[in-house]
């Protein structure tokens, strides 16, 4: 028996305050057949080096980070290759599962660091 699930692309996020930065998810909401591949696009424009993230929000739950360009790892069968020259971080999974249903969104942050206060003792 086949099950359907819906991946909704509702939100893109930009972390930081620099002007001229953007994140794009151009695909429309998708229904994907269980067992088929998933491919969600994320491209960005930013004037500095970027850290890119994929987040997922499962029904009834808070958003959680799924993948980060900093860690270059696979999680829950999902992977994403950070192609800096193409400014992309597309999300992939070979075989979709029913429990993958949720809202997926891409976010980018520049790598400019801010000073930190020393710990309070």
Length of the chain: 121
pLDDT tens digits, residue range 85-109?
A: 888 899 999 999 999 999 898 888 8
Q: Which residue has the higher pLDDT, 115 or 42?
A: 42
Answer whether residue 114 shows pLDDT above 60: no
Q: What angle do CA 6, 77, 52 make, to 5 degrees?
A: 80
Q: Where are the beta strands (DSSP E) in the chain?
A: 4-8, 12-15, 22-24, 30-33, 38-40, 43-45, 50-57, 64-68, 78-83, 88-93, 102-110
Write down the pTM of the prediction: 0.72
Which residues contact residue 7 at a Cβ distance below 8 angstroms, ignoring those fewer than 6 apart? 29, 30, 31, 32, 38, 40, 100, 101, 102, 103, 104
pLDDT tens track for 15-67: 444 455 667 666 677 888 899 999 998 988 876 777 899 999 999 999 999 99
Residue 72 has pLDDT above 50, yes or no: yes
Our separate counts of H helices and E strands in the chain read 0, 11
Domains delineated in the chain: 4-110 (2.60.40.10)
């Amino acid at each position: 028996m086949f099950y359907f699930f819906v991946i909704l692309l509702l939100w893109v996020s930009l972390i930081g305050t620099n002007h001229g930065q953007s994140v794009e998810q151009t695909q429309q909401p998708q229904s994907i057949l269980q067992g088929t591949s998933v491919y969600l696009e994320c491209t960005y424009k930013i004037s500095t080096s970027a850290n890119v993230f994929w987040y997922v929000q499962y029904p009834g739950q808070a958003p959680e980070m799924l993948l980060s360009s900093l860690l270059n790892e696979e999680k829950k069968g999902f992977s994403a290759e950070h192609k800096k020259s193409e400014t992309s971080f597309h999300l992939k999974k070979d075989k979709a599962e029913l429990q993958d249903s949720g809202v997926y969104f891409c976010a980018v942050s520049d790598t400019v660091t801010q000073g930190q206060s020393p710990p309070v003792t």
